[in-house]
């Protein structure tokens, strides 16, 4: 899964700490999501998307090939 | 720059519960060590006090997990697994050594060992998620 979080955050000029406070997680969590080291749960993904006024799919890009190749 | 809504959670509560956990585990360990060296009448009271302090420590840790986010819970889960497996392996090794007459009377150090391994685990697994 890829994310546009860093770009969206930069557009709004929010720091990782600002976003973390707004969605109720630690700054380290936002950093891990941005760097792709941690995939957020549905609850956090929706909270983040809502903060930016976007749909989840506009913030998190699900790459079909990652799982479909695993299932084959 | 657009504004964000204010914090929805208490950062303070996470810090306080985690600090309480460390303090009470330290106090409990100290009390158990004192109880081990104390005379008979005081020993029972000190052990009871130690169990009570350890109980508050566990309660603080559960309180921390309650306010922690999913990422922190994941790190704690990994650190706890690391501490559990590490303690199991080390206590097994100590048990074997004790059978041959080495390292007697260090069973009280097992909780301290678990906490030490858990702290190391927290550091290592938190670092893994850094940039």
| Closest in A23, A26, A31 to B72, CB measured | A26
Q: Per-residue pLDDT for B81 more than 80?
A: yes
Q: Is the ipTM of this complex over 0.85?
A: no
- State the pLDDT confidence band at B52, using cuts at 50, 70 and 90: very high
Q: Per-residue pLDDT for B111 more than 80?
A: no
Q: Per-residue pLDDT for B74 more than 80?
A: yes
pLDDT, chain A, mean: 87
The token duo for A71 is 């299932």
pTM comes to: 0.73
Phi, psi of A3 (to 5 degrees): -135, 145
Q: What local confidence, expressed as pLDDT, does residue B110 receive?
A: 76
How many angstroms separate the CA atoms of A38 and A20, rounded? 14
Strand partners, A61: A2
- Mutation target among A21, A35, A36, A45 for the B interface, most CBs of B within 10 A: A21
Q: What local confidence, expressed as pLDDT, does residue A65 receive?
A: 64
Q: Per-residue pLDDT for A46 more than 90?
A: yes
């Amino acid at each position: 899964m890829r994310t546009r979080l860093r770009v969206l955050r930069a557009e709004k000029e929010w720091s990782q700490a600002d976003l973390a406070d707004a969605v109720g997680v630690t700054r380290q969590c936002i950093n891990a999501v941005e760097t792709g080291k941690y995939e957020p749960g549905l609850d956090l993904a929706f909270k983040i998307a809502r903060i930016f006024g976007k749909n989840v799919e506009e913030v998190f890009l699900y790459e079909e090939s990652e799982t479909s190749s695993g299932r084959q | 720059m657009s504004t964000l809504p204010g914090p929805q959670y208490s950062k303070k509560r996470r810090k306080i519960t985690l600090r309480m956990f460390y303090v009470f585990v330290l106090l409990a360990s100290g009390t158990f060590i004192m109880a081990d060296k104390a005379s008979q009448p005081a020993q029972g009271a000190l052990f009871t006090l130690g169990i009570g302090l350890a109980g508050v420590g566990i309660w603080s840790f559960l309180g921390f997990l309650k306010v922690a986010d999913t990422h922190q819970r994941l790190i704690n889960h990994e650190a706890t697994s690391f501490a559990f497996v590490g303690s199991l392996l080390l206590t097994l090794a100590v048990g074997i050594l004790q059978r041959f007459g080495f390292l007697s009377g260090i069973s009280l150090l097992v909780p301290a060992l678990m906490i030490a391994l858990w702290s190391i685990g927290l550091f290592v697994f938190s670092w893994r998620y850094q940039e």
